[in-house]
Structure formats: structure tokens, C-alpha cells
Chains A and B, each alone.
Chain A
Amino acid sequence: MMPKSPRIWQLAERRYGLLGSKCTVCGKTYIGPRNVCPVCNSEKIETIQLPPRGTIYSYTVVHTLPAEKDNYGPYIMAIVELEDGTKLTAEIVDCDSEDVKIGMRVELAFRVIGQESEHGIIYYGYKFRPIISRT
């Protein structure tokens, strides 16, 4: 079910750079490109840099794996609310499944998302990890 090579390239820049969309009329922001604001119907949408930090809005530990995650093991999926209020879906890494919590602060981690096949292209994108206090 995973996208094939051309589709990966269509969204690569946005996924690599955590780019989002912002309606210049009502100010609502989204992950992913949009041409029409679903809140105010404006077509004045600009591409913005989303903030690389946020908090966990909800999470789950996925134990029953989809086919493309065969042998990947249990992993944490979350909806992350970024510092500007934008919400997105991402895997949480560098975190034990017992430690993840709603409200936990997380930051962007650029990672491999998957691979098309054994010899196919590797695709990348954003994941998030707990912010470690560096004292």
C-alpha cells in the first residue's frame, strides 16, 4: 500500500522540511499542501515552515502491524500538536512505550520511514522524539 517512487517525490520536500500550509485570511495551519482553506474557503494559502517542537495530543502503541511494517516491532504513533497549534500524525521514537504520555514535549527527528522493497528506494520523513533536557 505504500506509495511508489514518483509519489514519494511529489511530497518529499514537504516531508523532509516539515513544511505546512497557512491560510493568510483566517490563519489556520495544516500539515500538507492545500489549495482551499477548509475553514474559511479562502484560496490564499501560503507554504510555511512548521515549528519543529510540540506536545503529544494522543498516542497509541501499535502491536498488530500492517504488512509494510512486518518485523518492525511495536511502535508508538501519536498526534502531535506543534507549538503553533498545527496537528500532525507521526511516530514517536527514542522513547520506551511505558514512558510516552499525553502532554509530553517532543521534537522533530528526521528518519527513514520505510522502503519500497528489498531493492527499492528508501523513503524518509519526520518522526518525533522526546526533548531531552540538556543541562
Chain B
Amino acid sequence: MRDVAVVGIGMTRFGERWDKQLRDLFVEAANEALKDANMNRKEVQALFVGNFSAGSFVGQEHVAPLLADYLSLRSKPAFRIESACASSGMAFNLAYMAVASGIYDIVMVGGVEKMTDISAPEAMSVHAKAMDVEWEAFFGLTLPAAFALIARRHMIQYGTKPEQLAMVSVKNHKNATKNPLAQFQFEVTVERVLASPIVSDPLHVLDCSPVTDGAAAIILCSAELAKKYTDTPVYVLGFGTASDSIALHDRFDITTLYAVVSASRQAYKMAGIEPKNIDVAELHDNFTITEIISYEDLGLCEKGKGGLMIEEGETEIGGRIPVNPSGGLKARGNPIGATGAAQIVEIVQQLRGEAGKRQVSGAEIGMTQNIGGSGSTCVIHIFGRQRR
């Protein structure tokens, strides 16, 4: 297996993009990634696209060849990967393996979702398909409700407080004010989060990631070729992927995301690092509780101490390990199929030193953690400025 580098990134503005169609969004991000890599599109050998549910959101399936067609990559192999919110994290993982194995030298990977063409309640129902439709959603469980069940248990077992959940939202909103592509570029306070309407208690609206349109794209190539395209290649140092039960009720303890534990241990081992070596991380804050549990299950803090970690400011930009400098899913936005790719775009910017006002100074090693459903999929990548 050979080393692989990111040499190009592109991302649309995230938000309510009523002016754009799904294909327009992806082409915008992809063209930007090609430009960033100073690359002719003819050099791209294959396309890997993460997309959760174009069929439900815009009535279009078979989006991989559609996007290849509109990118003028016609005749190239094009794959669509679906793993709920982890779709483009998983797409990146397959694209990485395709280059690492030597099958392709240069591939494009990305993700796209166009969610606002249907109503918010309809979008809520589509999102619920990421869980067990027959044994959870059928009975009325929504995705926020699933994470509310998790949050309630975490509060009971570890004493985590609603204020601590709210602090995740406050931090990520603050970071998003420094990200010109973020959906919500305004700050919130703990009081405002706790006074916002309840979605599924104990989670408020401002504990939840929004409905978002957007796309992100990345160009990957073998490390040998990387310097041809950029002076600042970012290398993939390690990855881990794991699955868990589709239904939350089939887990032994719902306050631990076992797929996160497993995937992160694989990734640390492959990269030859420990959690303390990570300089910056983009974590899957689809709900505020998820970021707190992720601190714990990734080994950034002791189990049960995630609430304390946010309270003590350790994950602020400038803290011990800055988390979600982009604003995260919460404030950058969560276009489901594009979220994993957007996390990678942010980490690449951070490691290149191109993150502007939200730059984590001296970042050498970064991590992305992308979760699907209620934790049924987890995919983690570790990136570095230097090769392994």
C-alpha cells in the first residue's frame, strides 16, 4: 500500500441554496477542487460521491453518473456511497483505498445533499431512514429523538448538564462566525440555547444541526504525484471504520458509541499516534451530545468527562485540542451526504495554514470523525503535513 495525499479541495457555501440544484452544487465544489489542485479534469480517473437520499430529497437516484456527466467526466467510473451522515466520509475512505492500492493514481471524492426542496417535517422523516425503519422509525422515533434518548442516559449516568450541551453549540457557532462558507455566522449564548424551542427533550433547536444544502469535493492522488499539483500536500496517515447495530435499543449501553471507539483505535494504530498528538479535529456534532460523547469515545478525555471537557474550554480554538473550528455540523451546516467531505476540507485548510481567522496555529496533525445514523457507522481519518 502506498501513501496518499490530498492536493485539491473545494466547497460551496452551506445553507438554504434555493437558487441551486443538486448537480449545480456538486459541480461548483468539484470545479473549485480542480482549480485548487491546478489540475485538468481529464486527469481524474474516477469519481466517488457521498449522497444520503437524493431520491427522497429531490427525486433523483443514480447521481454518480449524473454528476460525472455534468462535470465532463463522462466515461469515467463513478460511484455513489450511502452511509447516512457518514456517506462522504465513507466515500473518502473508498477513494483512499483505491489510490493506496495502486488501482488509480488520481481520483475525485466528495459529497452533496440538497435538503431544502422538501418541508422540514418531510426532511425529518427522510433523516429517520438512517435508523431502523421497521423497529424504530415505524413507532415514531426521529433522529433527534434517538440522540435525546442518548443524552438523557448520559445525564443520568455521568451527570452531564444541559448547560454543558449548550456550550458545544456556543463554541461551534462562535467558530462559524469566522467561516465565510458556514450556514450560521452568528453567535449564541448558553441562555439562548436553553431558551430555544425543544425538539426532543432534553435537546433544543440550538442543540441540533440544521437542514442544509451544500457540496464539498477533494482531489486525492498518490504521494509521489502530489508535489506536481501543490506545494502543500496533506497526507492521509491513518483511518478506521466500524459499524454498530442499526437500532439504538440493540446496544448494551447507549452512552457509548462503540463504532467510534473501534474506528478511532484502528486509526490511531495505523497513524502511529495517540489522541494527545492531535492538533485539531472535526467531530460529528449532529447534536451537541454527540460531540461530548465523541470526546470520550475517541479517548480525548475519560469516559463520562466530556461535559467537563467542553466546560473547561479545552476544545476551543486555542484550547488543548480545538474541535470543530469550521463551526461543525451545528453551525457550518449538515448537508448529510456532504458533511464528511466538508470536515476533510476544513482539516486540509487547517493543516495547510489557510484557515484564516479560525486557524489553529501550528496544526500538524488533524482528525475527522464522521458518524452515520445513531452511531451505526463511524469513519475516521487522520491527516498530517508530513508523510508517515
Q: Point out residues on A near B: beta carbons under 8 Å.
A: 1-3, 7, 11, 30-32, 38, 57-70, 75, 77-79, 87-91, 102, 113, 125-127
Contacts and interface: CB of A to CB of B under 8 A. Distances in A.
B270 interface: no
Nearest to A3: B138
A11 B145 CA distance: 23
Contact of A60 (B128, B145, B245, B247): B145
Contacts of A79: 149, 248-249, 254
B148 interface: yes
Contact of B149 (A2, A60, A66, A68): A60
What's the dominant secondary structure at chain A's contact region? strand
B200 A1 contact: no
Contacts of A66: 121, 124-125, 128, 137, 140, 142
B19 interface: no
Interface string B310-339: 000000000000000000000000000000
Q: Which of A66, A79, A88, A102 has the most CB of B within 10 A?
A: A66
Given A63-B200, A89-B135, A77 B140 contact: yes
A58 B197 contact: no
Contacts of B137: 1, 66
Nearest to A102: B156
A63 B198 contact: yes
A96 B158 CA distance: 26
Task: Return the 4 tightest CB-CB contacts between A and B, nearest first.
Answer: A60-B148, A87-B249, A67-B121, A1-B125
Interface in B190-211: 197-203, 205
A75 B200 CA distance: 9
Given A64-B124, A70-B121, A88 B201 contact: no
A129 to B, nearest CB: 14
Q: Which of A58, A68, A78, A127 has the most CB of B within 10 A?
A: A58
A31 B197 CA distance: 33
Nearest to B118: A67
Contacts of A2: 138
B129 A63 contact: no
A67 B125 contact: yes
Contacts of B245: 38
Contact of A64 (B56, B142, B254): B142
B157 to A, nearest CB: 10
Given A79-B249, A89-B247, A91-B140, 6 more contacts: A3-B138, A38-B250, A62-B140, A64-B200, A87-B250, A113-B140
A11 B134 contact: yes
Contact of B250 (A30, A57, A126): A30
Contact of B122 (A7, A67, A78, A125): A67
Contact of A77 (B139, B197, B205): B139
Contacts of B233: none
Interface string B140-164: 1110110011101100100000000
A93 B245 CA distance: 27
B140 A69 contact: yes
B198 A77 contact: no
A65 B199 CA distance: 8
A59 B135 CA distance: 16
B152 A89 contact: no
Interface in B225-254: 245, 247-250, 254
Contacts of A60: 145, 148-149, 152, 200-203
A3 B148 CA distance: 24
Contact of A31 (B135, B140, B141, B202): B135
A68 B140 CA distance: 9
Contacts of A3: 133-134, 138
B136 interface: yes
Nearest to B203: A60
